[in-house]
Amino acid sequence: TTARTARLRVWRGDSGAGELVDYEVEAHEGEVLLDVLHRLQATQCPDLAVRWNCKAGKCGSCSMEINGRPRLSCMTRMSTLPLDEAITVTPMRTFPVVRDLVCDVSYNYEKARQIPSFTPEAGTEPGDFRMMQQDVARSQEFRKCIECFLCQDVCHVIRDHEENKEAFAGPRFLMRVSELQLHPEDTADRRAISQDEFGLGYCNITKCCTEVCPEHIKITDNALIPLKERVADRRYDPLVWLGSKIGLR
Ligand code: F3S
Residue 208 CB–ligand 1 contact under 6 Å: yes
pLDDT band at 38 (very low <50, low <70, confident <90, very high): very high
Q: Write down the pLDDT at residue 244.
A: 57
205 lines ligand 1 (CB under 6 A): yes
Per-residue pLDDT of 56-90, as tens digits, reads 999 999 999 999 999 999 999 999 998 889 999 99
pTM: 0.91
Q: What is the pLDDT of residue 248?
A: 54
Distance (Å, rounded) from C-alpha 86 to C-alpha 23?
Answer: 9
Q: Of 154, 157, 152, 177, whose CA–CA distance to 167 is shortest?
A: 157
C-alpha 188/C-alpha 191 separation (Å) is 9
3-state secondary structure of 157: helix
What ipTM score was computed for the predicted complex, to two decimals? 0.93
**Ligand 1: which of 92, 152, 205 to mutate, judged by most atoms within 8 Å of the beta carbon?**
205
Q: How confident is the model at residue 243 (pLDDT cuts 50, 70, 90)?
A: low
